[in-house]
Amino acid sequence: MFKDNPIIVKLLIVIFVLLGLNGFLLFKSIDLNNRINEGGENNPTIVEEDEEINNPILINSKDGFDINIFKQIVNTSKGDNKVISPLSIKIAMAMASEGASQGTLEEIYQSIGLNQESKIEIKKLIESISNQGEIIFEIANSTWARQGLDFKADFKNTLEDYYMSEAKVLDFTNPSSKDVINSWVKNKTNNKIDSIIDTISPNDIMYLINAIYFNADWKEQFKKEFTREQDFNLTNGSKVKVDMMNRSSEDFSYQEDADFQAVELPYGENGRFVMRVYLPNEKTDIKDFVSDITIEKYNSWKKNFAIKEGSLSLPKFKSEYSESLKEALISIGVIDAFDPQKANFERMIDISNANVYISDVKHKTYIDVSEKGTEAAAVTAVIMQMTSMPTEEERFEMVVDRPFFFTIDDTEQDLIIFMGVIEKPEY
């Protein structure tokens, strides 16, 4: 399909989650001077693309991708706190898959848990979150293409129709073009993520961006007057002072066994969105706890919550996380997409003597958990290159004073929107 000495192009997908962008895709090319009309250097002209198409994804958590990618990150990533948005990553990779073909497409499908109908369920999800009352949960997608390149109509139309993607064309030679894109990012993340692009390389040909914003109050808020400074036990055996929120209730959704305690905290009145906090027993290291999670276990845990009276102490925390997901994705089976010679994205664009492949996937998140509720943001960037609970018998007490695992779930769609490990809460 491609000839020798291919031109190299990068495609970057950035995903913001939980109050941010869920996907961002950037294509780069080393030498496109003979293929691109570089006119308009001083004006970051935006051109609206034509629209077309019609269709919807089954992006629930039953396929195991959410757990698998998070386990890889916890085992390899540095830092105390790791928070990702599996939903954001999945949507961004789904957008990239619309341009993939043959073996590359099959690897993405199998590893991420997608199929030909995924775009249908993604569209349904975007439509289903439009009216959530007091809860803000927004998904926004956009594509930013280099002026002068022709991406395939089916690829563009699919993103516009199923992913509701805003299609833009920019003069990438104009330095202010990055400001146009970053302004969109900042707006879609409610100012939680200021930018995703530092510079636009002469090799960049497209940015595909998926953004998620989440902001919700607890159904039953923690009272600020009950927040106390308390010790939190770190993995290394030392202690730090944290602001510990405290609440008692007769109807917590709770479970425990020999390995952990867990509580489910709903947002808003209808309880569609929940945070689930899992506290391993004192003898279990948080990394060992996460490593032992399987999708079967997680799905079982979700069913075992039961109403019980008790008290909960949960630390306030803010966390920002940034990491390349390339190695984690390769580890779970997305291999050919990162290979300059083997990757096949022929359904995205045709350039003579060139091949498109993913060079990196970058992910950023932000989360703020307080007495009032939760606000969060995330961004994932995929960079592509082109070449030529038990019975309630007694009152429980759950004091989250050591590293813990949490998820934020959409119970209606059976989705994990965010998941994380907090080893050192800070606020």
Does 285 map to a domain? Answer: yes
Does 341 map to a domain? Answer: yes
Judgement on whether residues 372 and 398 belong to the same structural domain of the protein? no
Judgement on whether residues 338 and 403 belong to the same structural domain of the protein? no
Judgement on whether residues 292 and 338 belong to the same structural domain of the protein? no
In this prediction, residue 349 carries a pLDDT of 86
On the CB side of 413, CA atoms within 13 Å amount to 21
Judgement on whether residues 144 and 121 belong to the same structural domain of the protein? yes
Q: How far, in Å, are 13, 396, 408, 409 from residue 266 at the CA level?
A: 31, 18, 9, 10
In this prediction, residue 2 carries a pLDDT of 38
Judgement on whether residues 211 and 309 belong to the same structural domain of the protein? no
Does 378 map to a domain? Answer: yes
Measure the CA–CA gap between 365 and 237, rounded to whole angstroms. 27
Residues of the chain with pLDDT under 70: 1-63, 130-131, 379-393
Judgement on whether residues 300 and 328 belong to the same structural domain of the protein? no
Judgement on whether residues 372 and 414 belong to the same structural domain of the protein? no
Q: What total of structural domains would you count in the chain?
A: 2
Measure the CA–CA gap between 300 and 168, rounded to whole angstroms. 44
In this prediction, residue 24 carries a pLDDT of 52
Element (H, E) at 13: strand 7-16
In this prediction, residue 54 carries a pLDDT of 36
What's the whole-model pTM score? 0.84
In this prediction, residue 397 carries a pLDDT of 95
In this prediction, residue 65 carries a pLDDT of 94
Does 1 map to a domain? Answer: no
Judgement on whether residues 144 and 211 belong to the same structural domain of the protein? yes
Per-residue pLDDT reduced to its tens digit, 175-227 = 899 899 888 888 888 888 887 787 887 777 778 787 888 999 999 999 999 99
In this prediction, residue 53 carries a pLDDT of 31
Q: Which domain holds residue 85?
A: 7-217+319-387
In this prediction, residue 62 carries a pLDDT of 63
Judgement on whether residues 147 and 253 belong to the same structural domain of the protein? no
Element (H, E) at 295: helix 295-303
Does 2 map to a domain? Answer: no
Does 427 map to a domain? Answer: no
Does 174 map to a domain? Answer: yes
Judgement on whether residues 194 and 287 belong to the same structural domain of the protein? no
Judgement on whether residues 23 and 144 belong to the same structural domain of the protein? yes
In this prediction, residue 379 carries a pLDDT of 67
| CATH number of the domain encompassing residue 57 | 3.30.497.10
Does 403 map to a domain? Answer: yes
Judgement on whether residues 20 and 91 belong to the same structural domain of the protein? yes
In this prediction, residue 17 carries a pLDDT of 31
| CATH number of the domain encompassing residue 245 | 2.30.39.10
The distance from CA 13 to its chain's CA centroid, rounded to whole angstroms, is 11
The distance from CA 165 to its chain's CA centroid, rounded to whole angstroms, is 17
In this prediction, residue 384 carries a pLDDT of 55
